[in-house]
Structure 1
Amino acid sequence: MWSGEPPEGEQNPHSQNPSRRLRWPQPSSGGGGGNQAKVVAVAAASAVVVAACVTGSLLLGGSKDDNADGGSTNTKASASAPRSATASAPASKNPRGGAAGRPAVPGWKVVINPEWGTAFDVPPDWDVKSPSLLIGFEDSKVDYSDPKNWGKVIIAISAPAVLQENWCLSDDNKDGRVDSNALAAAGTKGAKGAKSTGDAALSQVARWVYGGYTQPDKKSIVSDRTAKPYTTESGIRGSIAWARSRNTPQKGKCATDGKAVTFGFKDSAGDFVAWNLYGATGVRDELPDSTIMKILSTVRLHGKPTKS
């Protein structure tokens, strides 16, 4: 199980003064130091990428994600989508997808997570990443120049799909490297310790908004107090919760408010898992809630979970 520590012989990929912007992985020989986050190729796993985002860092790597969590955030009020946006998408002829991973929505792409034995569909303009990749947000208050802190994240998902990973480009810290911010992303993670599907949803959803759009501020986050029952088109019963930010104090060319939805359910092994989607809000290309709910409606079980 991935512990967040660099493999023996690898240098800590965090710089002493990392940028605060998301950098999607770019080819690199790795190594530490300097003013740029580095890409490190890890043997027996996929590439580990430590990069910055609007409010923290994005981390990708081969890993199980049960321990890729940080503390909870203090949230308030309710961030649920409008009732018209929470209705399930029309049932497809093959809601569970085929044995080979055929999409439940014709023309869409299938995203399979072997670790948790789950799958979902995304529209054709999304980019489906490797099942071995892990993405999440690091804590801006953690000193990542200390190797002991490497890999500590607020929240993370595995086997992700990303919408417009180069949606916003900037070089706010003037280090000469253009930073890339994705418009939205989705994936699945474990919910170890959850006592119910509602607990799985509520314990994760606000972390995406905090980690990706507001940290270190928590006051601008509005989150559901209770999770709502939800059943996908394949018949998976669980619970959903929403979180959104309003008037985030973040600054910079690519700073925006954000939203997230989490669906808590059980995999075929009876373990609690959570499907998460987060994205920028208040922008021209914002992913509509109706599309988010259509994507969510395709979440289904797919094979036997490979996790131990």
Structure 2
Amino acid sequence: MWSGQPPGDERDLHRQNPRRQPPGGGDRAKVVAVVAVTAIVAAVGLSGFLLLGAKDDRADGGGNTAAPPSASKSATASASASPEPHSSGTERPTVPGWKVVVNPKFGTAFDVPAGWKIEKPSELIGYEDSTLDYSDPANWGKSIVVMSAPAIFRENWCLSDGDKNGRMENTSLAMVGTKGSQGSKSTAEVAVGLADLWVYGGYTQPDRKNIVHDRTAQPYTTRSGVKGSIAWARSRDTPRKDRCDSDGKAITFGFKNSAGGFVAWSLVGATGVKGELPDATIMKILSTVRLHGKPTES
């Protein structure tokens, strides 16, 4: 559905040190992008690409403002020892025993089960393009799709050395977050286009033939009264090149925040595997999406 850079995509990111992988695995998962906007955040033994200096997670046509990639081992080690980000103290979960994920940039909040790991609101996570040569600085910052203020389910779900470089890589089972979608014309467009991109980026790229996705979005209203549109996408019989490879699924809820800006809430995860996040749980998480104050970004 999208051509070129999709609405809400990152354009000003720089590739940095290995960190970890979101849902996916093997050759596909190593194109994962994890972004710490305000600090270097890296963990020993985890893989993926750490991207620094992001201005936002929308397609605003802005130039690359990030500094060139550079980080010492001592800096990354120090950052990894920092406390785990926690829920907002002013927002309470609507589901007893769950935790709140707040994204001040877009003025949103939602709940996740207690076992999920909540990242800092300034972090972005998503997928780079496996067809691009990232040794070329001209390709730094080009990604398929990203989201901010993510929460991760079973971060260490699978461990493998997919690229045979001697370093074991972690793959998580699922992740969820929100992003801006500047340039979109409707909540339905947001939902259909981004659900497809998440499955493509994490599970099937560089091919789309294994993706089955909703062609039209369905209206949806959260328990707090936020109205918008939802769409699903799933992969089927994707070739396995690594023990952590699997099929995947994604759902995106497109809506508007209190400033009238289009926002996409997306959850993506592995499917057809032991411990798969049930669709019922996904819909329960989605039902908690709500507006949270005035967005810091329009």
User: Normalising by the residue count of structure 1, what TM-score does the alignment of the two structures yield?
Assistant: 0.75
Q: Could you tell me which of 163, 166, 172 is aligned with 2:153? A: 163
1:148-197 residue CA offsets vs partner (Å, 9 max, x unmatched): 11121100000000001110000122211110101000000111111111
1:4 aligns with 2:3: no
Mapped pair 1:229 → 2:219: yes
Counterparts of 2:214 and 2:133, CA distance in 1: 31
Match of 1:45 in 2: 38
State the partner residue of 2:255. Answer: 265
1:20 and 2:23 are equivalent in the alignment = no
The offset of 1:250, in angstroms, is 3.8
The change in CA–CA distance for 1:21 and 1:210 in structure 2 (over 3 A counts) is: closer
SS in 2 for 1:20: helix
More moved, 248-257 vs 266-275: 248-257
* Matched letter for residue 27 of structure 2: R
- Residue type of the alignment partner of 2:168: V
Structure 1 position 46, deviation (Å)? 2.5
**Correspondent of 1:124 among 111, 114, 118:** 114
1:214 and 1:250 in contact (8 A); partners too? no
CA contact (8 A) 1:14 1:144 kept: no
Aligned: 1:67 with 2:59: yes
Deviation at 1:135, TM superposition (A): 0.4
Q: Once the two structures are aligned, what percentage of the paired residues are identical?
A: 59
Q: What is aligned with 1:255?
A: 245
- Note the residue ranges of structure 1 that are not aligned, 5 or more in a row: 7-11, 26-36, 70-96
Q: Deviations over 1:1-54 (max 9, x none)?
A: x85354xxxxx5379xxx8364799xxxxxxxxxxx9x99x8x723277xxx99
| Distance in 1 (alpha carbons) for counterparts of 2:296 and 2:221 | 24
- State the distance in 1 between where 2:91 and 2:100 align: 6
Contact 2:11 2:141 survives alignment (8 Å): yes
Task: Letter of the 1:248 partner, please give it.
Answer: T
- Aligned to 2:251, the other structure's residue is in SS state strand
Task: For 1:300, give the aligned amino acid.
Answer: R
Q: Distance in 1 between matches of 2:244 and 2:154?
A: 13
- Distance in 2 (CA, whole Å) between partners of 1:111 and 1:155 is 20
Choose which of 234, 242, 255 in structure 1 pairs with 2:232: 242
Q: Does 1:179 align with 2:161?
A: no
**1:147 Cα deviation from its structure 2 partner:** 1.0
Superposed displacement of residue 67, structure 1: 2.5
